[in-house]
Amino acid sequence: MALVELSSVTYTYPTTDKPALKDINLKVEQGEFLAIVGSNEAGKSTLCYTISGFIPHFFHGDLVGEVQVAGLNLEESKLNEWVLNVGLVFQNPFNQISGSKFTVFEEIAFGLENLGVKRSEMIERVERAMELTGISDLADRSPYSLSGGQQQKVALTSILVMEPQVFVLDEPTSQLDPIGAREVFEVIKEMSRAGITVIMAEHKIEWVAEFADRVIAMHDGQIIIEGSPQEVLTSPLLPEHGIGTSRYTQAAKQARTEGLFSETTPLPVTLDQAVAGFSGGNHED
């Protein structure tokens, strides 16, 4: 059985009539890295909230269908137990601070204090997590006086350190510099290799293609396509629904219309594919 499973999930926020999720069916296996792409308001965050239990336990509203993680049923569970299995990094990086800590180190340790982790182990885990995300030098800084990207990395590290079985990330690299963003993808990929299930909403198509095992694209509360990164990210459905594609894909499509890119070569999403595709086209005629 899949570790995460949503069956016919439809959800409507209490303040609206229009469902934000419509008939979602989704299975994610243990250790899989699933990426969610989609335009603004597509329902990515709503899906993240649902998997991590904040819907329906924090944002009430109307949830129909079934959500299961590790055999547990969401509606029958309590949020404070659910979060022990499923960790969520929120989309807004600026308001995830606990409010009672004075250093970044203490802030990251907060989750482990709540989990009752022994002090010596706690220190070890916090240090390791900060090293992974490259913020060791911020350890003694106040969590309130950081740059935007630094805040986002602290928010990410604060959940990562808790080592949830299912790790849900809602646009965790939006404020990060390009190399920092790639490093975060690498760290998360490592975690998924180690058996943690990763579900991540992201706009950075190039890195999604490079690191995700599977991609779903959302529009208007629905999953419009699901499959391998290559398959989904080059699908004509994406631009049709206002979802960004990589520059490589766009350039190859344009080149194709001019007969400069082979019709049989799959459209490239990553740099390597693009190099292969474009140099292939070069030698063909």
Tell which residue, 39, 104, 62, 90, has the closest CA to residue 242. 39
Phi-psi region of 220 (alpha: psi -120 to 50; beta: other; left: phi over 0): left
Under 8 Å between Cβ of 141 and 103? yes
Amino acid (1-letter code) at residue 155? A
Binding mask 99-128 for other proteins (x = CB under 8 A): xxxx--xx--xxxxxxxxxxx--xx--x--
Please give, one letter per residue, the 3-state secondary structure of 210-274: HHCCEEEEEECCEEEEEECHHHHHCCCHHHHCCCCCCHHHHHHHHHHHCCCCCCCCCCCCCHHHH
Binding-residue pattern over the window 192 to 211 for ligand ATP, x denoting contact by CB under 6 A: --------------------
Question: In one letter, which amino acid is 78?
Answer: K
30 binds, among other proteins, ligand ATP, Mg ion, none (CB under 5 to 8 A by kind): none
Q: How far is the CB of 149 from Mg ion (least distance, A)?
A: 7
Closest to ligand ATP by CB, 40 or 279: 40
Is the omega angle on the peptide bond into residue 268 within 30 degrees of 0, that is, cis?
A: no
Residue 15 found at the interface with ligand ATP (CB under 6 A): yes
- x-or-dash string of contact with ligand ATP, 146-165, rule CB under 6 A: xxxxx---------------
- Token digits of residue 52: 């991590």
Q: Which of 62, 66, 75, 81 binds other proteins (CB under 8 A)?
A: 81
Phi and psi at 91, nearest 5°, equal: -65, -45
User: By CB under 8 A, what part of segment 26-65 binds other proteins?
Assistant: 38-41, 45, 52, 54, 58
The minimum distance between CB 26 and other proteins, in angstroms, equals 21
Binding track, positions 222-261, relative to ligand ATP; x by CB under 6 A: ----------------------------------------
Q: Which is nearer to other proteins, 25 or 121 (CB)?
A: 121
Contact (CB, 8 A) for 36 and 225: no
| Residues found near ligand ATP in the complex (CB under 6 A) | 13, 15-16, 20, 38, 40-46, 59, 91, 145-150, 175
